[in-house]
Every structure is written in structure tokens, then in C-alpha cells.
């Protein structure tokens, strides 16, 4: 038998709030430049939960005017870590696969790593 720690709805809300602050205070000022017609820059950056994974995505506009979302980083909750909430920090490769770059990090560590590592940020 394996004990696991599931995230409660309140924990998910608190994590999402921290991530939204990080997006608004760190990522958007650095990566959104108010140039909506530039095809190589994101229009917006946002995050959302999907099960036990919190994903970061950027919104772009293609040259034909269509908008699309492109994921770039993801926090996968490590349920086997019972002492505190930990995540595997995942990188979205150009092939469409997710690769774990950092294992069992705290939320603060994960956000610091996203801020410092260009692989974990939307491409410009």
C-alpha cells in the first residue's frame, strides 16, 4: 500500500493564486511587450489546473490571424511526498512531449526556476 497526498480544492486555489501573481509580476512584464502585431511575441500568458498538474501557456497569433495557445512549463504535483507540497517541474519540448527538468521542488523553488531558465519560458 502506498500513501499519497492529494491536493484539496483550497490548496489548489492558493497555488493558482501564487502562480497568477508570478505570471502578472514576473513573466508578463518581462515577456509581453504591448506589440500585438508581432508574430514572434506572446499576446498573453496564463495558467490553469488540469487534474493534479498546473500548466503555464502563452497565447500567440499566427500570420493568418488565428490565435492559439502554446504550453511551455508545467508543475506536476508529487503525491508520494507527504511532508509538504512538492512538484516535478516539466518542460514542454518542441516535439510536444513533456520532460522533467527538476524533481520534487517546492512551489517557490519552481517559480524561481521558471524565472531563471529560458527553457521554462515561452519562446520569443
Span 85-109, pLDDT tens digits: 999 999 999 899 999 999 999 999 9
Query: Which residues span the domain enclosing 106?
Result: 9-120
The reply to whether 4 falls in a domain is no
Number of domains present in the structure of the chain? 1
The reply to whether 1 falls in a domain is no
Q: How many CB atoms lie within 10 A of CB 92?
A: 20
Cell 506536476, residue located: 76
Residue 16 vs residues 5, 7, 66, 123: alpha-carbon distances, Å: 18, 12, 28, 22
The reply to whether 49 falls in a domain is yes
Residues 42-53 have a mean pLDDT of: 94
The reply to whether 20 falls in a domain is yes
Could you tell me the pTM of the whole model?
0.90
Which residues make beta-bridge pairs with 50? 53
Contact 99, 120 (CB under 8 A): no
The reply to whether 2 falls in a domain is no
Amino acid at each position: 500500500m502506498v500513501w499519497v497526498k492529494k491536493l484539496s480544492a483550497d490548496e489548489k486555489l492558493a497555488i493558482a493564486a501564487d502562480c497568477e501573481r508570478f505570471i502578472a509580476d514576473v513573466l508578463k512584464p518581462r515577456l509581453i511587450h504591448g506589440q500585438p502585431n508581432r508574430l514572434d511575441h506572446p499576446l498573453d500568458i496564463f495558467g490553469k489546473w488540469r487534474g493534479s498538474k498546473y500548466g503555464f501557456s502563452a497565447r500567440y497569433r499566427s500570420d493568418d490571424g488565428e490565435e492559439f495557445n502554446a504550453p511551455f512549463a508545467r508543475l506536476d504535483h508529487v503525491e508520494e511526498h507527504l511532508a509538504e507540497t512538492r512538484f516535478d517541474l516539466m518542460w514542454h519540448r518542441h516535439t510536444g512531449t513533456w520532460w522533467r527538468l527538476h524533481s520534487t521542488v517546492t512551489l517557490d523553488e519552481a517559480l524561481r526556476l521558471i524565472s531563471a531558465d529560458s527553457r521554462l519560458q515561452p519562446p520569443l
